[in-house]
Amino acid sequence: MLPKIVTTSLPGPKAKAIIERDKQVLSPSYTRSYPLVAERGQGAIVEDPDGNRFLDFAAGIAVVATGHCHPSVVKAIQEQAAKLIHMSGTDFYYENMVALAEKLASLVPGDVPRRVYFGNSGTEAVEAAIKLARYHTGRGQFVAFLGAFHGRTMGSLAMTASKSVQKKGFFPMMPGVHHVPYAYCYRCPYGKSPDTCAVECVKAIESELFRTSVPPEDVAAVFVEPVQGEGGYVVPPQKFFDELRRLVDRHGILLVADEVQSGMGRTGKMFASEHFGLEPDVMALAKGIASGMPLGAMVARAELMDWKPGAHASTFGGNPVAVAASLATIELLEQELVANAARLGEYLMDKLRDLPQRFPIVGDVRGLGLMIGIELVRDQATKERAPDLRDRLVQMCFERGLLLLGAGPNAIRICPPLVITRDQADFAAQTIEDCLRLLI
């Protein structure tokens, strides 16, 4: 199915009325890029209350991995809701939470026993990782990367370094977090290229940070997104992860992979870490894990989970309905959708790869599977960022029925449900191209 805009302008009258009501009562801290009101969704298609159909290449911010309202997920939710909606897995037992923990423990790369902590969101998975790292190591310092997004609660916000507006007005942060440059090769802060660099970004952690201000024996963990999400869909080279693993191992530091956005099949493998042979000590998961039901998970090597009863818990974490949705989601991912993400990701990338050759305002196209970023610049030589062009592109695509989101100051992110078809990929690529043509 493809988009169809039936109202003379957007938003249509019914959507407009809802937006007016929203403006009166919802938090103004939300960041709506365009006026999309969703009423129903099926697969990669979302319909608004005026009957306009949109192709959703944002997937509720990379969440609805199996598409909107996949029948198997809906059925699992309905059956579980009729049986048991809540019990609190922190105080009682129920089987499906055990089954999901077993499943996640077996999926996370690395042939070691793992244990799972459940929360309700990405930020809670990250908070749990922060607390576990402190608890287990007895150390209080952390390293994270510039451009990272790890969440918005006070611990994860301290780890975040994506946009300063996310921190403005909220200081002081949790102390002890040190940000270093990410392997953002298109904009290498060391002026190197990925073919010839010596992974200066990781080496500087030791030669600069550890030497001058942060003793490595005080560092509990390095937090890293295997593909940086909100920061612009940035894919590091293999050697970044090789060097990072060597660094943390040398100092007994834990490596925490935040796969909240890159996980659950999005990159064409179950976890982006697998593309790099990365076996993290701890993994944070959420977003795509339950096709839209609120669920987060922190999966750690079993021996790291030496915290005692009462150390950490959440009333709703691992809610039976969310867990049922997650089990159904993972079954679909394993059956076909991870493979579809790989296949369609390659198909889409083939259509987008040469955009920089055809459009002077496209600086870089990068990605893995169905996690693709397109960076808009004013000038390919200077790489001057073009946030205004990016915003206009997103707006123009919306007007043509394609839902996209920005990432970083000047990139768009392509993160559709993993169920998309070739027709839908064609429509998205063609729409982006048509809009780019109008922008130059």
Give the relative orientation of helices 387-399 and 422-439 as an angle to the nearest 10 degrees.
130
Pick the binder of ligand PLP from 41, 229, 320, 408 (CB under 6 A): 229
The pair of structure tokens assigned to 321 is 């309905």
Instruction: Kindly write out the interface string for residues 131-170 of this chain, putting x where it contacts ligand PLP by CB under 6 A and - elsewhere.
Output: ------------------xxx-------------------
405 near ligand PLP, judged by CB under 6 A: no
The one among 66, 80, 96, 121 contacting ligand PLP by CB under 6 A: 121
Residue from 96, 261, 424, 431 in contact with ligand PLP (CB under 6 A): 261
Strand 254-258 and strand 384-385: the pairing is unpaired
x/- string (CB under 6 A) for ligand PLP, residues 22-51? ------------------------------
Binding status of residue 231 toward ligand PLP by CB under 6 A: no
Interface with ligand PLP, residue 225, by CB under 6 A: yes
Of the residues 126, 157, 285, 362, which one makes contact with ligand PLP according to CB under 6 A? 126
260 contacts ligand PLP (rule: CB under 6 A) = yes
- Min. distance of Cβ 166 from ligand PLP in angstroms? 11
**37 vs 50: CA distance, rounded Å:** 9
Q: Which is nearer to ligand PLP, 47 or 230 (CB)?
A: 230
Q: Which two tokens stand for residue 328?
A: 């159904």
* Smallest distance from ligand PLP to CB 115, Å: 20
Identify which of residues 285 and 362 has a Cβ nearer to ligand PLP in the complex: 285
Q: How far is the CB of 126 from ligand PLP (least distance, A)?
A: 6
- Smallest separation, CB 225 to ligand PLP (Å): 5
324, two tokens: 């049922």
The answer to whether the Cα torsion of 406, 408, 410, 414 is positive or negative is: negative
Closest contact distance (angstroms) between CB of 116 and ligand PLP is 17
Binds ligand PLP (CB under 6 A): choice among 230, 243, 281, 375: 230
The pattern of x and - marking residues 328 through 347 that bind ligand PLP according to CB under 6 A reads: --------------------
Whether residue 272 contacts residue 263, with contact meaning beta carbons closer than 8 Å, is answered with yes
The stretch near ligand PLP (CB under 6 A) out of 193-201, 222-230, 405-413, 432-440 is 222-230
292 binds ligand PLP (CB under 6 A): no
Q: Where in 44-83 is the site for ligand PLP (CB under 6 A)?
A: 61
Task: Point out the residue whose Cβ comes nearest to ligand PLP.
Answer: 122
How many residues interact with ligand PLP (rule CB under 6 A)? 15
- Return the number of the residue (232 or 345) whose C-beta is nearest ligand PLP: 232
Residue 229 contacts residue 264 (beta carbons within 8 Å): no
Report the interface residues with ligand PLP, using CB under 6 A: 61, 121-123, 126, 149-151, 225, 229-230, 258, 260-261, 286
